[in-house]
Amino acid sequence: MRAVFNTDETHNLVVCTLCSCYPWSVLGLPPVWYKAPAYRSRAVIDPRGVLAEFGMTLPDEKKIRVWDSTAELRYLVVPERPDGTEGWSEEQLANLVTRDAMIGTGLATLPGVAP
């Protein structure tokens, strides 16, 4: 498994175009849409459009990098740290990270906001 980090300049999105590879042991059962041909093909062709369907509109200047998992190598996104979390413990920060954030179709939740 390889972790890729979201930054101010880059947002990462994970897809498996061949077989719907998904890190079950880490994230649990895959969501139905992750295995859908529409997500698998469009995530590579139109990542901004796919993210918009998930309610994510990123600035035009933010690069989107799509990672294609395989049976041998699966990717996991480490989301950006939300503002207002400076000094938080690892456990507190982990509570802000959702499954979708680790796939790249979501962001870490904001402090005080339910996921």
Nearest to 85 by CA among 114, 57, 115, 108: 108
**Pair 27, 1: CB distance under 8 Å:** no
Q: Is 21 a catalytic residue?
A: yes
The Cα-based distances of 81 to 95, 108, 109 in angstroms read 12, 7, 9
Q: Is 25 a catalytic residue?
A: no
Q: Is 89 a catalytic residue?
A: no
**Pair 4, 75: CB distance under 8 Å:** yes
- Which of 21, 41, 69, 89 is catalytic? The answer is 21
Bridge partners for 11 per DSSP: 64
**Pair 65, 15: CB distance under 8 Å:** no
Entry field: residues in the chain: 115
- Which of 16, 25, 69, 89 is catalytic? The answer is 16
Q: Is 20 a catalytic residue?
A: yes
- Which of 19, 25, 41, 69 is catalytic? The answer is 19
Catalytic amino acids?
16, 19-21
